[in-house]
Amino acid sequence: MLANSLVALALAFPFAVAQNLSVPSTWRDPSTSLSFLDRVSIAQNCVNTLTAVLDTDTGSFSGLGYWQNANVLSAMANLDYFTKSTTNKQAVIGSLNAAFSLYADYDQYGYNDDAMWWATAAYYGYRAYGNPNLLNHAIATWQHVSNYVITTSDASSGKQPNKDFPIEGSCDGETMVGGVFWRPLNDDASVNSITTGLYIALSAHLAATTRNSTYTHAAILSANFIKTTNMNSGDLVLDSINAQDCTRSSSSWMFTYNSGKYIEGLSVLAFVTGDTSWTSLMLEVVAAATKAPAWEGSDGIITEGADVTEDNDGVGFKAVLIRGLAEAWSCNTGNTALRTLIRSYTDVQYNALLDLASNSSSGSTWYSPAWEGPGPTSFIPWGQLAAVDVLVSAVNVNN
């Protein structure tokens, strides 16, 4: 039902003409001739290298961090969703249930974004398999994180009930309403875009699924916060802002996942509300994010998070951008220019992975987190993490 509704919305609002959605002529290899079955096989084979190091009793993959584990599970669920299969169902559901039983509201270390990565994975699992427990986990975690959203009354009073310091209701003349605190700790003042973007996307997904206006209202407030308070003039999402004194992260802190998660949230929010202004904003962010010198060269290949020596948060960011673009592709069937841009950008990364950054000499295919190559000489778990969303997205956006 949701998919049909998304199609109906996309057909009703097919075009926005202000954005530059053209495909740059300098991009490297922005198409693929691989068949659907070949693309599915490549994606599933990457998943299999990761499930080989999965402990379903904890939902953890050896060599990856807590939030990264949830992103692998997200890709696994989405691959089944796109292919209408249950290949990964047991591993996904078992892992998501195990983590929720171990950590209240998926919060292992005291980070709201960690909790939301897992809640979003639970939502994708619900979408793929219809398992009601996963939807309940997503909702429970959403309710937990909602305690750390700056409300209209918080901004007016200068006090957030779960923080022990006064907050600013506006920064640089723009509202802080809808911003989500990065951590639930009562002394942490950081409001950041990834936690807020995760909250927008999950709120919009839950609104689309439940038709509960509480989720819609929450998504709108937080989407407006990023729009008015935490984007730069080039339509890219900034990183963080301190709610106590309005100090900001450096303007050079430009990370793919901030824009990627916002793109996903805006795409679904446009469906929920029927408000084409969200579609227009999404198109602006897509146009900027797919052509951002901050994280790619003229060939279009993303260079962010290319560390082959050790895992770090940055190696997982770019996969989130590709996943967000895939959601926008699915939500906008009537916009040929947008879908062509997203498919082309995804295929640039896809072909870079297959041609430049892979090694199949072991019998399995290993991927480097450095997508411009060379391929790795050994199994790098975070290289597989970075690659898997591209491989999964390529299954869908080339249909």
pLDDT in tens, 335-393: 999 999 999 999 999 999 999 999 998 889 999 999 999 999 999 999 999 999 999 99
Q: Give the model's pLDDT for residue 288.
A: 98
Mean predicted lDDT score pLDDT of the chain: 95
**pTM for the full predicted model:** 0.95
Could you tell me which of 257, 104, 69, 109 has the C-alpha nearest to residue 77? Answer: 69
- Reported as a single tens digit per residue, the pLDDT across 119-140 is 999 999 999 999 999 999 999 9
Res. 19 pLDDT band, cuts 50 70 90 = confident
Q: Rounded CA gap, 269 and 340, in Å? A: 22
CATH code linked to domain 2-397: 1.50.10.20
- pLDDT of amino acid 362: 84
Peptide bond into 374 cis (omega under 30): yes
Q: Are 377 and 61 in contact (CB under 8 A)?
A: no
Name which of 364, 361, 369, 359 is nearest 390 in CA terms: 369
Residue with tokens 């491989």: 391
Q: What local confidence, expressed as pLDDT, does residue 18 receive? A: 57
Evaluate whether 223 touches 269 at the Cβ level (below 8 Å): yes
pLDDT 10s digits, 175-227: 999 999 999 999 999 999 999 999 999 999 999 999 999 999 999 999 999 99
Per-residue model confidence (pLDDT) at position 9: 39
